[in-house]
Structure 1
Amino acid sequence: MIFAQTFADLFSMDDTTWKRHANPWCFWTRLSVIPVLFLAVWSRFWLGWWSLLLIAIALFWVWLNARIFPEPNSTNNWVSKGVFGEQIWINRNQIPIPSHHRYFPHILTTISAFGLIFAVWGLITLDLYFTALGTLLIYVGKLWFLDRMVWLYEDMKDANPKYRSWLY
Structure 2
Amino acid sequence: MTLERIIANLFNLNDENWMRHANPVSVWTRYSVLPVLVLAFWSRTWIGWWCLVPGLLSILWMFFNPILFKKPKSTRNWASKAVLGERVFLNRDKVPIPDKHRIPLHGLLNFLASIGLVLAIGSTIYYSAWGAVSGVALAYLGKSWFLDRMVWLYEDMKEDNETYRSWEY
TM range (shorter): over 0.9
Kindly state the Cα deviation for residue 15 of structure 1 after the two structures are TM-superposed.
Answer: 1.5
Contact 1:119 1:131 in 2 (8 A): yes
Aligned to 1:11: 11
- After superposition, give the CA deviation of every residue in 1:125-163 in whole Å (9 maximum; x if it has no partner): 121111111101111011111110000001111332211
Kindly state the Cα deviation for residue 10 of structure 1 after the two structures are TM-superposed.
Answer: 1.8
Contact 1:40 1:58 in 2 (8 A): no
- Counting only pairs closer than 5 Å after superposition, residues 48-59 of structure 1 correspond to structure 2 as 48-59=48-59
Aligned to 1:151: 152
Aligned to 2:68: 68
Structure 1 gaps, min length 5: none
Kindly state the Cα deviation for residue 3 of structure 1 after the two structures are TM-superposed.
Answer: 3.1
Q: Letter of the aligned partner of 2:107 in structure 1?
A: H
Q: Letter of the aligned partner of 2:140 in structure 1?
A: Y
Contact 1:112 1:140 in 2 (8 A): yes
Q: Structure 2: how far apart are the matches of 1:2 and 1:93?
A: 7
Structure 2 gaps, min length 5: none
Q: Structure 2: how far apart are the matches of 1:50 and 1:2?
A: 38
The yes-or-no answer on 1:23 pairing with 2:23 is yes
RMSD: 1.4
Change (3 A) 1:44 1:91: same
Q: Letter of the aligned partner of 2:36 in structure 1?
A: V
Aligned to 2:91: 91
Normalising by the residue count of structure 1, what TM-score does the alignment of the two structures yield?
0.93
- Counting only pairs closer than 5 Å after superposition, residues 77-88 of structure 1 correspond to structure 2 as 77-88=77-88
SS of match in other structure, 2:159: coil
Kindly state the Cα deviation for residue 35 of structure 1 after the two structures are TM-superposed.
Answer: 0.8
Contact 2:82 2:150 in 1 (8 A): yes
- Counting only pairs closer than 5 Å after superposition, residues 113-124 of structure 1 correspond to structure 2 as 113-124=114-125
Aligned to 2:105: 104
Aligned to 1:163: 164
SS of match in other structure, 1:71: coil
Q: Structure 2: how far apart are the matches of 1:6 and 1:37?
A: 24
Normalising by the residue count of structure 2, what TM-score does the alignment of the two structures yield?
0.93
